A and B are shown apart, each in its own frame.
Chain A
């Protein structure tokens, strides 16, 4: 099922507003809504589900305008952030709930079979008669997914699906969810504030800030070509230096970087800590080492440029230089942006 958001607006008194978001999600695609808290990503997800109604704009499921369809009839599977498992029902009863209340009548046998099928799918076959309070967080997450899938939803929506889990459980479940998605081919939209999770899991990433889409594309596209400084910073560690932009070049202490198509004036260049080489002489921005931090597989070096701006970069563990030494920073793959 293809989903289309057309200029969707939602106003709250608080900061979670959504300002005119348009978005196309292809059938069978796995898309991440990525943004910091308050960026409006959960509100968008809830509007797609019908748990909030848009103040303006429209949401289409295929060719059908779903904007006014109540959540009950919208046919979405929603996995809540804290799972919202019914605490007084067993795992099996939780999964069966949607089928029991459905207008499509199913026989108890048919429901039981489907529950078993779903339990197998989420690899929880032995836990049918446990209560949500008696299973682990990762297991609850999978029950929530099974419950959402039980009603054969047209789209699957997940709100911070791994937010409440430990880091290692999180990685396993991530790979596993991708596998399930590939098996079922269901259009899936999920919300996360964790860029690693979005890049790891999604076919396409939609990055939001302050209720607007700032960039959307494949993980490769957003990583290699961040649209602005916000995206660059949000996706990972980044150094930032002030720059002057003159005639298509950005200057940092006389070192010029390409800045095609950026108007003259104030600017900034951003670059990843891995994209810096330390030189004892020659070309580069003059800097002095402030501190060297050891890590299992590398060294992180903290340096200060000649005019007092901090830069951090990663080197091989064999990096021989020490605090106090002076040298030059060579920057690869710099991103130049006009000053915000």
Chain B
């Protein structure tokens, strides 16, 4: 028997395991159990139905576009916050977290109102023929809104810790700003960027509240996978809901693995000796 020097492990671990078992593991196991009870043929039929596949396509495409947008926007935002001093910088820094703090349903109705054809943005945009609300573009907007903080918050600390001597070294070697950025700064930021990108993408794949208001929710064009699982539930088609939710769960696990990998890599440059 190994004795322990610091006390409290049995109690602390007991509480932890009970909570994790009842709150986290039990429901996910029940979902997997339910999906598994379908049988391979039924399961495959449901998850490969045209409507389901269309929903994957919509979700993944929109999440990709939203993440790429956030990659540039988040990176620029982090850069501006770290490297420049301007009035209101602290306010902007605090506002970056608004998408996390604002409940998704609230974000959903706010974005929808802004981008509806009679809204502040939707009106002018419709004049030049761009429709956002109730189109895939709306889904992208909602996805980018809810995942803005990820890339900013992973890149920001790395940028802050960046040793000015590295840039100075580049300057003494005669490199231009652009080439210092691309050959010195960007490679050092890449692990953090990738970590932020994977978090942002994962969040976009699973987002529900902010999207359903603005999406229009037309099967085959603006219906995301999360909504399809929800609709099947409301139709009392529980097996279908379980199967679709299990696909999302599996995707989440894959993204979790990728994210952990990326974050471990991101730590590589920030770890202090």
Chains A and B in contact, CB within 8 Å:
yes
Q: Is A50 an interface residue (CB 8 A)?
A: yes
B26, chain A: closest CB distance, angstroms: 34
**Considering only CB atoms and an 8 Å cut-off, how many residues of chain B contact the other chain?**
3
| A44-86 contact mask (Cβ, 8 Å, vs B): 1 or 0 | 0000001111000000000000001011000000000000000
Residues of A within 8 A of B3 (CB): 53, 68, 70
| B67-106 contact mask (Cβ, 8 Å, vs A): 1 or 0 | 0000000000000000000000000000000000000000
A76, chain B: closest CB distance, angstroms: 12
Q: Is B13 an interface residue (CB 8 A)?
A: no
A70 to B2: give the CA distance in the assembly, Å. Answer: 13
Residues of A within 8 A of B2 (CB): 53
Query: How many contacting A-B pairs (Cβ < 8 A)?
Result: 10
Residue of A nearest to B2 (CB): A53
A232, chain B: closest CB distance, angstroms: 32
Residue of B nearest to A71 (CB): B5
B10, chain A: closest CB distance, angstroms: 15
Residues of A within 8 A of B5 (CB): 50-53, 70-71
A211 to B5: give the CA distance in the assembly, Å. Answer: 22
A52 to B2: give the CA distance in the assembly, Å. Answer: 10
B207, chain A: closest CB distance, angstroms: 41
A50 to B4: give the CA distance in the assembly, Å. Answer: 10
Give chain A interface residues in 11-65, CB to chain B under 8 Å: 50-53
A238 to B162: give the CA distance in the assembly, Å. Answer: 44
Residues of B within 8 A of A50 (CB): 5
| B1-34 contact mask (Cβ, 8 Å, vs A): 1 or 0 | 0110100000000000000000000000000000
Residue of B nearest to A68 (CB): B3
Give chain B interface residues in 196-228, CB to chain A under 8 Å: none
A52 to B4: give the CA distance in the assembly, Å. Answer: 8
A170, chain B: closest CB distance, angstroms: 23
B92, chain A: closest CB distance, angstroms: 32
| A131-149 contact mask (Cβ, 8 Å, vs B): 1 or 0 | 0000000000000000000
Residues of B within 8 A of A52 (CB): 5
A68 to B4: give the CA distance in the assembly, Å. Answer: 11
| A164-184 contact mask (Cβ, 8 Å, vs B): 1 or 0 | 000000000000000000000
Residue of A nearest to B3 (CB): A53
A50 to B5: give the CA distance in the assembly, Å. Answer: 7
A259 to B248: give the CA distance in the assembly, Å. Answer: 78
Residues of B within 8 A of A70 (CB): 3, 5
Residues of B within 8 A of A53 (CB): 2-3, 5
A56, chain B: closest CB distance, angstroms: 13
A71 to B6: give the CA distance in the assembly, Å. Answer: 9
A51 to B7: give the CA distance in the assembly, Å. Answer: 12
A53 to B1: give the CA distance in the assembly, Å. Answer: 11
Residue of B nearest to A53 (CB): B3
Residue of B nearest to A50 (CB): B5
Residue of B nearest to A51 (CB): B5
B76, chain A: closest CB distance, angstroms: 38
A42 to B5: give the CA distance in the assembly, Å. Answer: 16
A50 to B2: give the CA distance in the assembly, Å. Answer: 13
B3, chain A: closest CB distance, angstroms: 5
A68 to B2: give the CA distance in the assembly, Å. Answer: 11
| A244-277 contact mask (Cβ, 8 Å, vs B): 1 or 0 | 0000000000000000000000000000000000
A70 to B7: give the CA distance in the assembly, Å. Answer: 10
A87, chain B: closest CB distance, angstroms: 18
Residues of B within 8 A of A71 (CB): 5
A245 to B2: give the CA distance in the assembly, Å. Answer: 49
Residues of B within 8 A of A68 (CB): 3
B187, chain A: closest CB distance, angstroms: 33
A333 to B2: give the CA distance in the assembly, Å. Answer: 49
B162, chain A: closest CB distance, angstroms: 27
B210, chain A: closest CB distance, angstroms: 41
A203 to B2: give the CA distance in the assembly, Å. Answer: 35
Residue of B nearest to A49 (CB): B5
A50 to B3: give the CA distance in the assembly, Å. Answer: 10
A53 to B2: give the CA distance in the assembly, Å. Answer: 8
Most chain B C-beta atoms within 10 Å of own C-beta, residue among A50, A53, A71: A53
A51 to B6: give the CA distance in the assembly, Å. Answer: 8
A52 to B3: give the CA distance in the assembly, Å. Answer: 9
Residues of B within 8 A of A51 (CB): 5
A-B contact list, 10 entries, CB within 8 Å:
A50-B5, A51-B5, A52-B5, A53-B2, A53-B3, A53-B5, A68-B3, A70-B3, A70-B5, A71-B5
- Known pairs A52-B5, A53-B2, A70-B3 / 7 extra A-B pairs, C-beta < 8 Å: A50-B5, A51-B5, A53-B3, A53-B5, A68-B3, A70-B5, A71-B5
Shortest 4 CB-CB contacts between residues of A and residues of B? A53-B3, A51-B5, A71-B5, A52-B5
